[in-house]
Structure 1
Amino acid sequence: MKVEVRTTDDGSSTLYVPALDEHYHSTHGALQEAQHVYLGAGLEPALVSSPSPIWVLEVGFGTGLNALLTLQRSLTSPQPIFYDTIEKHPLPQRVIKQLGAERYILNPELLDCYQQLHQATWDVPVALTPQFALHKISGALQSTELSEGTYQVIYFDAFAPEKQPDMWTDTVFAQLYEAAAPGGCLVSYCAKGSFKRSLKAAGWLVEALPGPQGKREMTRAWKR
């Protein structure tokens, strides 16, 4: 799949897929979107509410930005974080090199972490630090067996519904509902009505939150 490196408004980089006419992140700012949606609305509340280890599931590893920021946060967190991420189309190393860590990462201290994330073997759990364990799973979410009642936080970061409709179905959100821990949450940049209806059909309690820069709303859903 052909991709092009693009610089977003906050100076961080993203990838553009011409065949889909789609970006991996918000063009208003890849970094600020990830911090606002996934860490701010998802991870931080979990760290506050639970003294236990935090299990995170990411749907769509992509460029590794969400994983990188979560690893960074784990360095100052008392709880260890177990991070599972599912990706059907892992980016080849040549694309990672094109992306350019120096453009993608604004904090030079994270360069080693960034490289470790992408060099970690797929389908094998790896402890990258004493506080952060990574398990990159290659394959489709729909055919991946997930442990029930496990994840306190789910980052749902698939391409937009009109670009990847098979990822935004009632069945998918029912699968994720079963995988979520009681009281766990799912967060996404998407705020479409069809998305919210599918979440509700699967049992999730849905709320709209202020979105990141350039977007009015985002979505957070809770397991009953």
Structure 2
Amino acid sequence: MDREIITTEDGSTTLYIPELNEHYHSIHGAIQESIHIFIKAGIEYYGQKNIRVLEAGFGTGLNAFLTLLEARDNERKVVFHTFEKYPLTPQEVEQINYSDLFTPEDAPLFQQLHDAPWEEDVVITPYFTLHKHRADFEEVNFHKYFDMVFFDAFAPDVQPRLWTESMLSKFYKALKPEGILTTYCVKGTVKQALRNIGFNLKRLPGPPGKREMLRAVK
């Protein structure tokens, strides 16, 4: 599947898949979208000092990178599991500019996320442990293990199977009681599926270019 590097409105890059007409992040700003939906509405809202995160879609590694920086800056210990069936090539990683937009000391950390081996715990910093699963979301099989889910799959119009009740229920089961799921998607069918599974939903103001986002609580 061909992928192109594009620059979004906040200066950060993302990937575009012409075949699907889909971007990995918002064209209005990749970094500001991830901070808004997953860091501020997720990690900071949850507020605990020890957090286990399950991410649907490692993609460019942006959510993991921002979580790593937040954990370090706030002395928060995070164990971060992420699923990705089609990882970036080394050439694509080189073209992603996130590390250029932070301090020079942070740049190697972004590369370490992509260099980390799959299917094992990798300690990136004293505050951030990464476990990458090279697998489809269907293989998510955890029970009351995670505090938080970052649901960052492609849009339901592009990959509807990722937003079905049966798929979303895997992430519900993976969460501890009172665990939260955050996502950019506010489509009616997705909201109904989340409610049917048992989530309590809260619509929140969205990032630039998007009116709303969702936080779902188990």
> TM-score, normalised to structure 2's length?
0.96
Corresponding residue SS for 2:91: helix
Deviation digits for residues 55-92 of structure 1 (CA, Å, limit 9, x no counterpart) = 01110000000000000011122331100001111112
Q: Does 1:186 align with 2:188?
A: no
Q: Does 1:64 align with 2:43?
A: no
Corresponding residue SS for 2:150: strand
**Aligned counterparts of 2:108 and 2:64: Cα–Cα separation in 1:** 13
Shift of 1:101: 5.0
8 Å contact kept, 1:116–1:128: yes
**Aligned counterparts of 1:71 and 1:99: Cα–Cα separation in 2:** 17
Corresponding residue SS for 1:166: helix
Q: Which of 127, 135, 138 is the equivalent residue of 1:139? A: 135
**Aligned counterparts of 1:9 and 1:101: Cα–Cα separation in 2:** 14
**Aligned counterparts of 1:144 and 1:183: Cα–Cα separation in 2:** 19
Q: Which residue of 2 aligns with 1:121?
A: 117
Q: Which residue of 2 aligns with 1:93?
A: 90
8 Å contact kept, 1:204–1:222: yes
Task: Within 5 Å, give how 1:208-223 maps onto structure 2.
Answer: 208-223=203-218
> TM-score, normalised to structure 1's length?
0.93
**Aligned counterparts of 1:125 and 1:16: Cα–Cα separation in 2:** 30
Alpha-carbon spacing, 1:193–1:186, altered in 2? closer, same or farther (3 Å): same
Shift of 1:152: 1.1
Alpha-carbon spacing, 1:143–1:189, altered in 2? closer, same or farther (3 Å): same
Note the residue ranges of structure 1 that are not aligned, 5 or more in a row.
none
RMSD: 1.3
Shift of 1:143: 2.1
**Aligned counterparts of 1:26 and 1:144: Cα–Cα separation in 2:** 26
Q: Does 1:38 align with 2:38?
A: yes
Aligned residues: 218
Deviation digits for residues 177-214 of structure 1 (CA, Å, limit 9, x no counterpart) = 11001111000011111110110111111111000001
Q: Which residue of 1 aligns with 2:162?
A: 167
Corresponding residue SS for 1:108: coil
8 Å contact kept, 1:12–1:106: no
**Aligned counterparts of 2:32 and 2:166: Cα–Cα separation in 1:** 30
Shift of 1:117: 0.4
8 Å contact kept, 2:99–2:106: no
Q: Does 1:198 align with 2:196?
A: no
Note the residue ranges of structure 2 that are not aligned, 5 or more in a row.
none
8 Å contact kept, 1:81–1:133: yes
8 Å contact kept, 2:140–2:170: no
Corresponding residue SS for 1:221: strand
Q: Which residue of 1 aligns with 2:22?
A: 22
* Residue identity in the other structure for 1:218: M
**Aligned counterparts of 1:35 and 1:108: Cα–Cα separation in 2:** 20
Shift of 1:112: 0.8
8 Å contact kept, 1:36–1:212: yes
Moved more, 25-34 or 169-178: 169-178
8 Å contact kept, 1:61–1:85: yes
* Residue identity in the other structure for 1:205: N
Q: Percent sequence identity over matched residues?
A: 44
